Structure 1
Amino acid sequence: MDNKAYADIFDATLQKWGIEAQYDQAIEECAELIAALKHFKRGKVTESEIIDELADVILMTQQLVFMLGEDRVDSAITRKVEKLRLLLHAR
């Protein structure tokens, strides 16, 4: 997903609701995905509902990337992928 394509909307949300509200919204969306996944495992929600919750979380994580800096997040992802690569080839 191209964060630049959403920069205007992300900036507008920060202007309207503020940083703290966006952190709270991210927490709420993650919690909703967690709950939906637990319900999915028990057959109480559909895959479509999981996709909707996942979309909310992806949008909020992209908002956080916008807020915290794409370069910083990309650097952390690179470090974590390398760590995973090393774990996969360990033995």
Structure 2
Amino acid sequence: MPTLLMDASLARQAVRHFGLDAQLQILQEELAEAIVAISHLRRGRCGSREDVVDAIGDVLVMIDQLRTEPFMADELDASVALKCERLRALLPAEPVSGEDPA
């Protein structure tokens, strides 16, 4: 079982109760709300920071629900690992602890 931010049994129960397709639809809607909230934050709208935090919280809850599906968790883990490797290749190497960075 992957590490989740929310209670795993609650996440599984939600997917069983509402169905995977319905939860994918909700995730899509929550992602759209996050996009709007981020746009508002970048334009300096009042209260938008809280809206971004709330929207991203909703997205994370929905992603956790999807991660209770074994096929989804495995594929997501593989995708995240690949993207982390790509990111690591773009960043400068961190100095090893105790080495002089100069």
- Alignment TM-score, normalising by the size of structure 1: 0.80
Give the aligned CA root-mean-square deviation in angstroms. Answer: 2.2
CA distance in 2, matches of 1:40, 1:13: 31
| Structure whose CA Rg is larger | 2
Aligned: 1:24 with 2:8: no
Larger RCO (alpha carbons 8 Å, 6+ apart) = 2
Q: Does 1:13 align with 2:14?
A: yes
Could you tell me which runs of 5 or more consecutive residues in structure 1 were left unpaired when the two chains were aligned.
Answer: none
Greater share of residues in helix: 1
Q: How does 1:1-91 map to 2 (within 5 A)?
A: 2-3=3-4, 6-46=7-47, 47-67=49-69, 68-89=71-92
TM-score (norm 2): 0.72
Gaps of 5+ in 2: 93-102
Aligned length: 89
The alpha-carbon distance between structure 1 residues 19 and 10, as it changes in their structure 2 partners (threshold 3 A), is same
Asked whether the 8 Å contact 2:8–2:68 carries over to 1, the reply is: yes
Query: Structure 1: which 4+ aligned runs deviate by more than 6 Å?
Result: none
Alignment check: 8 A CA contact 2:31 2:59 kept: yes
Which segment is superposed worse, 38-47 or 48-57? 38-47
